[in-house]
Protein backbone atom coordinates (compact mmCIF):
# COMPACT_ATOMS: atom_id res chain seq x y z
CA UNK A 1 0.00 0.00 0.00
CA UNK A 2 2.79 2.41 0.93
CA UNK A 3 5.89 2.88 -1.12
CA UNK A 4 7.37 5.70 0.89
CA UNK A 5 10.05 3.60 2.56
CA UNK A 6 11.90 3.59 -0.74
CA UNK A 7 11.85 7.33 -1.17
CA UNK A 8 14.55 9.92 -1.05
CA UNK A 9 13.56 13.56 -0.88
CA UNK A 10 14.47 17.19 -0.47
CA UNK A 11 12.42 19.98 1.09
CA UNK A 12 12.82 23.72 0.68
CA UNK A 13 10.74 26.68 1.84
CA UNK A 14 10.88 30.49 1.88
CA UNK A 15 8.71 32.84 3.97
CA UNK A 16 8.48 36.59 3.54
CA UNK A 17 9.81 37.27 0.07
CA UNK A 18 7.96 38.59 -3.01
CA UNK A 19 9.68 35.99 -5.20
CA UNK A 20 9.51 33.08 -2.78
CA UNK A 21 8.66 30.47 -5.46
CA UNK A 22 11.65 31.54 -7.54
CA UNK A 23 13.95 31.13 -4.54
CA UNK A 24 12.43 27.74 -3.70
CA UNK A 25 12.99 26.67 -7.30
CA UNK A 26 16.69 27.62 -7.01
CA UNK A 27 16.93 25.72 -3.74
CA UNK A 28 15.35 22.63 -5.29
CA UNK A 29 17.87 22.95 -8.11
CA UNK A 30 20.70 22.80 -5.55
CA UNK A 31 19.00 19.79 -3.91
CA UNK A 32 18.41 17.80 -7.10
CA UNK A 33 20.73 15.01 -5.88
CA UNK A 34 18.17 14.15 -3.15
CA UNK A 35 15.43 13.26 -5.65
CA UNK A 36 15.20 13.25 -9.44
CA UNK A 37 11.81 11.77 -10.22
CA UNK A 38 9.32 14.54 -9.52
CA UNK A 39 9.23 18.04 -8.13
CA UNK A 40 6.69 20.52 -6.92
CA UNK A 41 6.18 23.97 -5.44
CA UNK A 42 3.16 25.39 -3.62
CA UNK A 43 3.04 29.14 -2.98
CA UNK A 44 0.69 31.37 -1.01
CA UNK A 45 -0.35 34.87 -2.05
CA UNK A 46 -2.45 35.27 1.10
CA UNK A 47 -5.73 34.41 -0.66
CA UNK A 48 -5.10 31.03 -2.29
CA UNK A 49 -2.47 28.32 -2.48
CA UNK A 50 -1.02 27.88 -5.97
CA UNK A 51 0.45 24.51 -6.85
CA UNK A 52 2.62 23.01 -9.56
CA UNK A 53 3.77 19.38 -9.41
CA UNK A 54 5.26 17.40 -12.24
CA UNK A 55 7.39 14.36 -13.06
CA UNK A 56 10.95 15.19 -14.14
CA UNK A 57 13.93 17.31 -13.19
CA UNK A 58 13.68 20.73 -11.54
CA UNK A 59 15.24 22.56 -14.51
CA UNK A 60 12.76 20.98 -16.95
CA UNK A 61 9.66 21.55 -14.80
CA UNK A 62 9.92 25.15 -13.63
CA UNK A 63 9.90 27.26 -16.75
CA UNK A 64 9.46 31.02 -16.48
CA UNK A 65 5.70 30.92 -16.99
CA UNK A 66 5.29 28.30 -14.26
CA UNK A 67 7.32 30.32 -11.75
CA UNK A 68 5.33 33.47 -12.67
CA UNK A 69 2.08 31.67 -11.85
CA UNK A 70 3.43 30.64 -8.43
CA UNK A 71 3.00 34.13 -7.00
CA UNK A 72 3.22 34.89 -3.31
CA UNK A 73 5.31 35.79 -0.30
CA UNK A 74 5.66 32.23 0.90
CA UNK A 75 6.36 28.93 -0.85
CA UNK A 76 7.45 25.37 -0.12
CA UNK A 77 8.90 22.80 -2.52
CA UNK A 78 9.88 19.18 -2.78
CA UNK A 79 12.05 16.81 -4.86
CA UNK A 80 11.21 13.13 -4.83
CA UNK A 81 12.87 9.95 -6.00
CA UNK A 82 11.48 6.47 -5.59
CA UNK A 83 12.78 3.25 -7.12
CA UNK A 84 10.40 0.54 -6.03
CA UNK A 85 7.30 2.58 -5.37
CA UNK A 86 4.79 4.08 -7.69
CA UNK A 87 6.31 6.54 -10.04
CA UNK A 88 3.28 8.74 -10.57
CA UNK A 89 2.52 12.43 -10.32
CA UNK A 90 -0.19 11.73 -7.72
CA UNK A 91 2.68 10.89 -5.33
CA UNK A 92 4.58 14.08 -6.18
CA UNK A 93 4.69 16.64 -3.37
CA UNK A 94 3.83 19.11 -1.89
CA UNK A 95 0.36 17.68 -1.20
CA UNK A 96 -2.38 20.31 -0.98
CA UNK A 97 -5.72 19.87 0.81
CA UNK A 98 -8.59 22.01 1.94
CA UNK A 99 -9.81 21.40 5.51
CA UNK A 100 -11.91 23.19 8.15
CA UNK A 101 -9.36 25.97 8.73
CA UNK A 102 -8.54 26.55 5.03
CA UNK A 103 -6.00 25.19 2.57
CA UNK A 104 -2.69 23.63 3.65
CA UNK A 105 0.23 22.03 1.77
CA UNK A 106 2.99 19.76 3.02
CA UNK A 107 6.46 18.62 1.90
CA UNK A 108 8.03 15.66 3.69
CA UNK A 109 11.50 14.14 3.79
CA UNK A 110 11.73 10.89 5.74
CA UNK A 111 9.62 7.86 6.31
CA UNK A 112 6.90 7.17 8.85
CA UNK A 113 7.00 3.65 10.22
CA UNK A 114 3.40 3.48 11.48
CA UNK A 115 1.69 5.03 8.47
CA UNK A 116 -0.03 1.74 7.53
CA UNK A 117 -1.81 1.36 10.86
CA UNK A 118 -2.78 5.03 10.96
CA UNK A 119 -4.08 4.94 7.41
CA UNK A 120 -6.27 1.91 8.11
CA UNK A 121 -7.78 3.77 11.05
CA UNK A 122 -8.34 6.95 9.05
CA UNK A 123 -9.91 5.08 6.13
CA UNK A 124 -12.20 3.18 8.48
CA UNK A 125 -13.54 6.51 9.70
CA UNK A 126 -14.06 7.97 6.24
CA UNK A 127 -10.80 9.59 5.07
CA UNK A 128 -10.24 9.22 1.34
CA UNK A 129 -6.59 9.00 0.27
CA UNK A 130 -5.36 10.30 -3.07
CA UNK A 131 -1.86 8.84 -3.05
CA UNK A 132 0.14 5.85 -1.86
CA UNK A 133 2.54 8.05 0.11
CA UNK A 134 2.73 7.99 3.92
CA UNK A 135 2.93 11.79 3.97
CA UNK A 136 -0.76 12.02 3.23
CA UNK A 137 -1.44 10.42 6.62
CA UNK A 138 -0.09 13.56 8.31
CA UNK A 139 -2.46 15.74 6.29
CA UNK A 140 -5.48 13.56 7.18
CA UNK A 141 -4.52 13.55 10.86
CA UNK A 142 -4.43 17.36 10.79
CA UNK A 143 -7.72 17.56 8.90
CA UNK A 144 -9.58 15.20 11.24
CA UNK A 145 -8.11 16.57 14.50
CA UNK A 146 -10.59 18.08 16.96
CA UNK A 147 -8.08 20.72 18.10
CA UNK A 148 -9.16 24.30 17.43
CA UNK A 149 -5.92 25.85 16.19
CA UNK A 150 -3.67 24.76 13.35
CA UNK A 151 -0.73 24.40 15.74
CA UNK A 152 -2.84 22.25 18.07
CA UNK A 153 -3.75 20.04 15.13
CA UNK A 154 -0.16 19.75 13.91
CA UNK A 155 1.11 18.84 17.38
CA UNK A 156 -1.61 16.25 17.77
CA UNK A 157 -0.94 14.76 14.32
CA UNK A 158 2.83 14.59 14.87
CA UNK A 159 2.43 13.05 18.30
CA UNK A 160 0.70 10.11 16.60
CA UNK A 161 3.24 9.43 13.85
CA UNK A 162 6.46 7.47 14.41
CA UNK A 163 9.66 7.50 12.40
CA UNK A 164 11.43 10.12 10.37
CA UNK A 165 10.06 13.47 9.29
CA UNK A 166 11.55 16.76 8.23
CA UNK A 167 8.44 18.68 7.23
CA UNK A 168 7.40 21.98 5.73
CA UNK A 169 3.81 23.24 5.69
CA UNK A 170 2.40 26.31 4.01
CA UNK A 171 -0.99 27.89 4.74
CA UNK A 172 -2.45 31.16 3.50
CA UNK A 173 -0.50 33.23 6.03
CA UNK A 174 2.16 30.97 7.51
CA UNK A 175 5.00 28.56 6.86
CA UNK A 176 5.72 25.86 9.44
CA UNK A 177 8.81 23.65 9.74
CA UNK A 178 8.95 20.51 11.89
CA UNK A 179 11.58 17.85 12.56
CA UNK A 180 10.96 14.56 14.37
CA UNK A 181 12.23 14.27 17.97
CA UNK A 182 15.05 11.91 16.97
CA UNK A 183 16.19 14.15 14.10
CA UNK A 184 16.68 11.38 11.53
CA UNK A 185 16.75 13.64 8.48
CA UNK A 186 18.50 17.01 8.29
CA UNK A 187 16.70 20.35 8.22
CA UNK A 188 18.37 23.75 8.40
CA UNK A 189 17.21 27.30 8.98
CA UNK A 190 18.59 30.37 7.23
CA UNK A 191 17.78 33.97 6.46
CA UNK A 192 18.30 36.07 3.38
CA UNK A 193 21.06 38.55 3.96
CA UNK A 194 21.00 40.99 1.07
CA UNK A 195 19.43 44.46 1.15
CA UNK A 196 15.64 44.48 0.93
CA UNK A 197 15.55 40.66 1.10
CA UNK A 198 16.61 40.76 4.72
CA UNK A 199 14.06 39.19 6.91
CA UNK A 200 12.90 36.42 4.60
CA UNK A 201 13.35 33.03 6.26
CA UNK A 202 14.55 29.93 4.47
CA UNK A 203 14.26 26.30 5.56
CA UNK A 204 16.03 23.60 3.59
CA UNK A 205 17.23 19.99 3.70
CA UNK A 206 20.81 21.13 3.19
CA UNK A 207 22.93 24.26 3.47
CA UNK A 208 24.02 24.10 -0.19
CA UNK A 209 20.56 25.48 -1.07
CA UNK A 210 21.11 28.44 1.28
CA UNK A 211 24.45 29.18 -0.38
CA UNK A 212 22.91 29.40 -3.83
CA UNK A 213 20.34 32.01 -2.84
CA UNK A 214 22.85 33.81 -0.58
CA UNK A 215 20.96 33.10 2.59
CA UNK A 216 22.83 33.13 5.86
CA UNK A 217 22.86 29.86 7.83
CA UNK A 218 21.30 30.40 11.26
CA UNK A 219 21.08 26.92 12.75
CA UNK A 220 19.51 23.47 12.41
CA UNK A 221 15.81 23.09 13.01
CA UNK A 222 16.31 21.08 16.17
CA UNK A 223 14.99 17.55 16.62
CA UNK A 224 11.50 17.81 18.09
CA UNK A 225 11.18 21.47 17.17
CA UNK A 226 8.26 23.09 15.34
CA UNK A 227 8.93 26.59 13.97
CA UNK A 228 6.16 28.88 12.74
CA UNK A 229 6.94 31.76 10.39
CA UNK A 230 4.11 34.28 10.27
CA UNK A 231 3.20 37.95 10.24
CA UNK A 232 4.59 38.25 13.79
CA UNK A 233 7.96 36.70 12.94
CA UNK A 234 9.36 33.34 13.94
CA UNK A 235 8.17 31.25 16.87
CA UNK A 236 9.68 28.03 18.12
CA UNK A 237 7.88 25.29 20.00
CA UNK A 238 9.12 22.00 21.46
CA UNK A 239 5.95 20.17 22.37
CA UNK A 240 7.30 16.60 22.54
CA UNK A 241 9.27 14.85 25.28
CA UNK A 242 12.99 14.88 24.45
CA UNK A 243 14.22 11.73 22.70
CA UNK A 244 17.69 10.35 22.01
CA UNK A 245 18.90 11.73 18.70
CA UNK A 246 19.30 9.44 15.69
CA UNK A 247 20.77 11.68 13.00
CA UNK A 248 21.47 9.78 9.78
CA UNK A 249 25.18 8.98 9.44
CA UNK A 250 24.68 7.98 5.81
CA UNK A 251 24.06 11.65 4.97
CA UNK A 252 27.76 12.12 5.79
CA UNK A 253 28.89 8.99 3.95
CA UNK A 254 27.01 9.44 0.68
CA UNK A 255 23.75 11.30 0.52
CA UNK A 256 24.38 14.98 1.28
CA UNK A 257 26.28 17.21 -1.09
CA UNK A 258 29.92 17.58 -0.01
CA UNK A 259 29.62 21.37 0.05
CA UNK A 260 26.84 21.21 2.64
CA UNK A 261 27.43 21.67 6.36
CA UNK A 262 25.59 18.96 8.19
CA UNK A 263 25.03 18.59 11.95
CA UNK A 264 27.67 21.31 12.41
CA UNK A 265 30.36 19.85 10.14
CA UNK A 266 31.36 20.27 6.52
CA UNK A 267 30.52 17.08 4.63
CA UNK A 268 33.58 17.27 2.36
CA UNK A 269 35.94 17.48 5.35
CA UNK A 270 34.18 14.58 7.08
CA UNK A 271 34.51 12.42 3.96
CA UNK A 272 38.21 13.27 3.65
CA UNK A 273 38.69 12.28 7.28
CA UNK A 274 36.89 8.97 6.64
CA UNK A 275 39.33 8.37 3.76
CA UNK A 276 42.32 9.11 6.00
CA UNK A 277 41.02 6.71 8.62
CA UNK A 278 40.45 4.07 5.93
CA UNK A 279 44.11 4.39 4.90
CA UNK A 280 45.22 4.05 8.53
CA UNK A 281 43.13 0.91 8.92
CA UNK A 282 43.82 -0.83 5.62
CA UNK A 283 46.92 0.40 3.83
CA UNK A 284 48.13 -1.57 0.82
CA UNK A 285 51.22 -1.38 -1.39
CA UNK A 286 50.11 0.45 -4.54
CA UNK A 287 51.16 2.98 -7.20
CA UNK A 288 48.14 5.29 -7.12
CA UNK A 289 44.75 6.04 -5.57
CA UNK A 290 41.74 6.66 -7.78
CA UNK A 291 38.19 7.62 -6.75
CA UNK A 292 34.91 6.32 -8.09
CA UNK A 293 33.53 9.72 -9.11
CA UNK A 294 31.71 11.55 -7.70
CA UNK A 295 30.81 9.69 -4.54
CA UNK A 296 34.33 8.47 -3.72
CA UNK A 297 36.26 11.67 -4.44
CA UNK A 298 36.68 13.30 -0.99
CA UNK A 299 37.47 9.97 0.71
CA UNK A 300 40.03 9.16 -2.02
CA UNK A 301 41.73 12.53 -1.44
CA UNK A 302 41.97 11.71 2.28
CA UNK A 303 43.19 8.19 1.56
CA UNK A 304 45.89 9.43 -0.84
CA UNK A 305 47.02 12.13 1.60
CA UNK A 306 47.32 9.70 4.48
CA UNK A 307 49.02 6.94 2.48
CA UNK A 308 51.27 9.41 0.58
CA UNK A 309 50.24 7.93 -2.74
CA UNK A 310 49.48 10.02 -5.84
CA UNK A 311 45.80 10.72 -6.48
CA UNK A 312 44.82 10.21 -10.12
CA UNK A 313 41.49 10.26 -11.90
CA UNK A 314 41.57 6.82 -13.49
CA UNK A 315 37.81 6.97 -14.02
CA UNK A 316 36.12 9.91 -15.73
CA UNK A 317 32.42 10.51 -15.29
CA UNK A 318 29.96 11.73 -17.89
CA UNK A 319 27.80 14.21 -16.00
CA UNK A 320 24.99 14.27 -18.54
CA UNK A 321 23.76 10.72 -18.13
CA UNK A 322 20.00 10.29 -17.69
CA UNK A 323 18.32 7.32 -16.14
CA UNK A 324 17.40 5.29 -19.22
CA UNK A 325 19.49 4.31 -22.22
CA UNK A 326 18.72 2.47 -25.42
CA UNK A 327 21.11 -0.45 -25.46
CA UNK A 328 22.49 -1.72 -28.78
CA UNK A 329 21.23 -5.19 -29.61
CA UNK A 330 24.80 -6.53 -29.74
CA UNK A 331 25.33 -5.71 -26.07
CA UNK A 332 28.50 -3.85 -25.07
CA UNK A 333 30.29 -5.24 -22.03
CA UNK A 334 29.61 -3.34 -18.75
CA UNK A 335 27.24 -1.13 -20.71
CA UNK A 336 25.37 0.38 -17.78
CA UNK A 337 28.49 1.58 -16.01
CA UNK A 338 30.44 2.41 -19.17
CA UNK A 339 27.98 5.05 -20.21
CA UNK A 340 28.59 6.83 -16.90
CA UNK A 341 32.28 6.09 -16.29
CA UNK A 342 35.25 5.64 -18.61
CA UNK A 343 38.58 4.15 -17.47
CA UNK A 344 41.76 5.90 -18.61
CA UNK A 345 44.44 3.51 -19.91
CA UNK A 346 47.09 6.25 -19.80
CA UNK A 347 46.65 6.50 -16.03
CA UNK A 348 46.03 2.86 -15.15
CA UNK A 349 48.14 0.71 -17.45
CA UNK A 350 50.56 -1.53 -15.53
CA UNK A 351 49.66 0.14 -12.20
CA UNK A 352 48.68 -1.23 -8.79
CA UNK A 353 45.53 0.76 -8.12
CA UNK A 354 43.64 1.57 -4.91
CA UNK A 355 40.09 2.47 -5.92
CA UNK A 356 38.02 4.29 -3.30
CA UNK A 357 34.23 4.45 -3.09
CA UNK A 358 31.84 5.40 -0.30
CA UNK A 359 29.73 2.22 -0.14
CA UNK A 360 28.79 -1.07 -1.79
CA UNK A 361 25.09 -1.76 -2.12
CA UNK A 362 24.45 -4.73 -4.41
CA UNK A 363 28.05 -5.01 -5.57
CA UNK A 364 27.13 -5.04 -9.24
CA UNK A 365 28.51 -1.57 -10.03
CA UNK A 366 31.71 -2.22 -8.11
CA UNK A 367 32.21 -5.47 -10.02
CA UNK A 368 31.82 -3.72 -13.38
CA UNK A 369 34.14 -0.90 -12.34
CA UNK A 370 36.84 -3.36 -11.32
CA UNK A 371 36.57 -5.14 -14.68
CA UNK A 372 36.83 -1.80 -16.45
CA UNK A 373 39.97 -0.91 -14.51
CA UNK A 374 41.54 -4.24 -15.42
CA UNK A 375 40.50 -3.89 -19.07
CA UNK A 376 42.33 -0.53 -19.01
CA UNK A 377 45.53 -2.27 -17.90
CA UNK A 378 45.47 -2.05 -14.08
CA UNK A 379 47.82 -4.72 -12.74
CA UNK A 380 46.19 -4.95 -9.31
CA UNK A 381 42.89 -3.49 -8.08
CA UNK A 382 42.36 -2.91 -4.35
CA UNK A 383 38.90 -1.63 -3.42
CA UNK A 384 38.59 0.51 -0.30
CA UNK A 385 35.17 1.56 1.04
CA UNK A 386 34.82 4.60 3.32
CA UNK A 387 31.98 3.10 5.38
CA UNK A 388 31.28 -0.27 7.07
CA UNK A 389 29.44 -3.01 5.08
CA UNK A 390 25.86 -1.93 4.25
CA UNK A 391 24.06 -4.86 5.81
CA UNK A 392 20.53 -3.56 6.37
CA UNK A 393 17.96 -1.47 4.52
CA UNK A 394 16.97 2.01 5.66
CA UNK A 395 13.39 2.64 6.80
CA UNK A 396 13.90 6.29 7.56
CA UNK A 397 14.29 7.91 4.14
CA UNK A 398 17.31 6.56 2.26
CA UNK A 399 16.59 4.45 -0.78
CA UNK A 400 18.32 1.12 -0.15
CA UNK A 401 17.16 -2.17 -1.64
CA UNK A 402 15.67 -4.97 0.46
CA UNK A 403 17.95 -6.89 2.80
CA UNK A 404 18.31 -9.85 0.43
CA UNK A 405 19.64 -7.59 -2.33
CA UNK A 406 22.31 -6.04 -0.11
CA UNK A 407 25.42 -8.08 -0.80
CA UNK A 408 26.84 -7.51 2.71
CA UNK A 409 23.70 -8.83 4.42
CA UNK A 410 24.58 -12.42 3.56
CA UNK A 411 28.23 -12.42 2.45
CA UNK A 412 31.53 -12.03 4.27
CA UNK A 413 34.05 -9.41 3.12
CA UNK A 414 36.06 -12.22 1.50
CA UNK A 415 32.97 -13.49 -0.36
CA UNK A 416 32.22 -9.97 -1.57
CA UNK A 417 35.86 -9.58 -2.67
CA UNK A 418 35.54 -12.73 -4.76
CA UNK A 419 32.25 -11.58 -6.29
CA UNK A 420 33.57 -8.18 -7.31
CA UNK A 421 36.88 -9.76 -8.43
CA UNK A 422 39.15 -7.36 -6.52
CA UNK A 423 42.69 -8.28 -5.43
CA UNK A 424 41.76 -6.98 -2.00
CA UNK A 425 38.74 -5.36 -0.37
CA UNK A 426 38.53 -3.44 2.89
CA UNK A 427 35.73 -1.47 4.53
CA UNK A 428 36.04 1.20 7.19
CA UNK A 429 35.38 -0.12 10.71
CA UNK A 430 32.31 1.13 12.60
CA UNK A 431 34.58 2.74 15.21
CA UNK A 432 36.63 4.29 12.40
CA UNK A 433 33.49 5.86 10.96
CA UNK A 434 33.15 7.90 14.15
CA UNK A 435 36.74 9.04 14.19
CA UNK A 436 35.76 12.57 13.13
CA UNK A 437 33.58 12.75 16.24
CA UNK A 438 36.42 11.58 18.50
CA UNK A 439 34.77 8.19 18.73
CA UNK A 440 31.42 9.42 20.13
CA UNK A 441 28.70 7.32 18.53
CA UNK A 442 25.77 8.77 20.43
CA UNK A 443 23.22 10.80 18.58
CA UNK A 444 23.51 9.03 15.22
CA UNK A 445 21.51 6.38 13.40
CA UNK A 446 23.81 3.88 11.69
CA UNK A 447 21.22 1.11 11.38
CA UNK A 448 22.20 0.35 7.76
CA UNK A 449 25.66 -0.63 9.04
CA UNK A 450 25.00 -1.88 12.56
CA UNK A 451 21.46 -3.27 12.49
CA UNK A 452 20.57 -1.07 15.52
CA UNK A 453 17.24 0.28 14.32
CA UNK A 454 16.14 3.09 16.63
CA UNK A 455 12.51 2.66 15.54
CA UNK A 456 11.61 -0.87 14.58
CA UNK A 457 10.32 -1.87 11.19
CA UNK A 458 10.39 -5.18 9.34
CA UNK A 459 11.37 -5.97 5.76
CA UNK A 460 7.82 -5.93 4.44
CA UNK A 461 7.48 -2.42 5.67
CA UNK A 462 5.01 -3.19 8.45
CA UNK A 463 5.47 -1.89 11.93
CA UNK A 464 6.33 -4.44 14.59
CA UNK A 465 6.27 -3.13 18.07
CA UNK A 466 7.57 0.38 18.19
CA UNK A 467 10.68 0.21 20.30
CA UNK A 468 10.85 3.93 19.92
CA UNK A 469 13.58 4.75 22.37
CA UNK A 470 14.66 1.37 23.64
CA UNK A 471 17.17 0.47 20.96
CA UNK A 472 19.08 3.70 21.37
CA UNK A 473 19.03 3.59 25.13
CA UNK A 474 20.55 0.10 25.13
CA UNK A 475 23.59 1.26 23.16
User: Which sequence positions are flagged as catalytic?
Assistant: 9
Question: How far is 324 from 176, CA to CA, in rounded Å?
Answer: 37
Q: Cβ distance 40 to 223 under 8 Å? A: no
CB of residue 218 vs ligand AMP: minimum separation in angstroms? 29
Q: Does 79 bind ligand AMP (CB under 6 A)?
A: no
Q: Tell me whether residue 118 or residue 448 sits nearer to ligand AMP (CB atom).
A: 448
Only segment of 125-133, 234-242, 343-351, 398-406 that touches ligand AMP (CB under 6 A): 398-406
Q: Which of 76, 358, 383, 392 binds ligand AMP (CB under 6 A)?
A: 358
Task: Identify the CA nearest to 277 among candidates 116, 428, 140.
Answer: 428
Q: Which of 132, 269, 342, 364 binds ligand AMP (CB under 6 A)?
A: 364
Q: Which of 111, 260, 306, 365 binds ligand AMP (CB under 6 A)?
A: 365
- Count CB-CB contacts under 10 A for residue 16: 21
Q: Does 372 bind ligand AMP (CB under 6 A)?
A: no
CB of residue 77 vs ligand AMP: minimum separation in angstroms? 21
> Binders of ligand AMP among 89-108, rule CB under 6 A?
none
CB of residue 52 vs ligand AMP: minimum separation in angstroms? 26
Q: Which of 42, 61, 150, 360 binds ligand AMP (CB under 6 A)?
A: 360
Q: How far is CA 474 from CA 452, 454, 469, in A?
A: 10, 10, 9
Q: How far is CA 58 from CA 7, 55, 94, 137, in A?
A: 17, 9, 14, 26
Cα Rg of the chain, angstroms? 23
Site string for ligand AMP, 232-271 (x = CB under 6 A): ----------------------x-----------------
In three-state secondary structure terms, 179 is strand
Q: Does 7 bind ligand AMP (CB under 6 A)?
A: no
Q: Does 361 bind ligand AMP (CB under 6 A)?
A: yes
> DSSP string covering 327-368, please?
--SSPPTTHHHHTTEEE-HHHHTT-EEEEEES--SSSHHHHH
Torsion of CA 282, 283, 286, 292, to 10 degrees: 50
Q: Does 362 bind ligand AMP (CB under 6 A)?
A: yes
| Helix pair angle (297-307, 267-281), 10° resolution | 50
Q: Does 359 bind ligand AMP (CB under 6 A)?
A: yes
> Binders of ligand AMP among 260-319, rule CB under 6 A?
292, 295
CB of residue 366 vs ligand AMP: minimum separation in angstroms? 3
Q: Tell me whether residue 141 or residue 253 sits nearer to ligand AMP (CB atom).
A: 253
CB of residue 22 vs ligand AMP: minimum separation in angstroms? 29
The phi, psi pair for 150, rounded to 5°, reads -60, -45
Q: Which of 400, 416, 445, 455 binds ligand AMP (CB under 6 A)?
A: 400
Q: Does 82 bind ligand AMP (CB under 6 A)?
A: no
Q: Tell me whether residue 71 or residue 251 sits nearer to ligand AMP (CB atom).
A: 251
Question: How far is 1 from 204, CA to CA, in rounded Å?
Answer: 29
Q: Cβ distance 52 to 69 under 8 Å? A: yes
Quote the DSSP letter at residue 235: E
Interface with ligand AMP (CB under 6 A): 254, 292, 295, 357-366, 398-400
Amino acid sequence: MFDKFKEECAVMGVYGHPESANLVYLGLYALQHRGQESSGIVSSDGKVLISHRQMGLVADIFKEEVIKRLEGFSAIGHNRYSTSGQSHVKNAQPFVVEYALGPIAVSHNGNLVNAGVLREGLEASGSIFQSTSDTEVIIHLIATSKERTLMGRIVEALSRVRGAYSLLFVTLDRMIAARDPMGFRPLVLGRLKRGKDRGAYVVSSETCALDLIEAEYLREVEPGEIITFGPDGMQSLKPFPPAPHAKCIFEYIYFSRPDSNLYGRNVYQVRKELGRQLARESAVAADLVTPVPDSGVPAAIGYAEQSRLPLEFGLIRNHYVGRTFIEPQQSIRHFGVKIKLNAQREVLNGKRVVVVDDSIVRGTTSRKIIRMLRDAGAKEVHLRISSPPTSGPCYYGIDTPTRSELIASSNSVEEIRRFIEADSLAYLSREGMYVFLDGKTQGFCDACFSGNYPVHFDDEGHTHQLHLFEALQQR
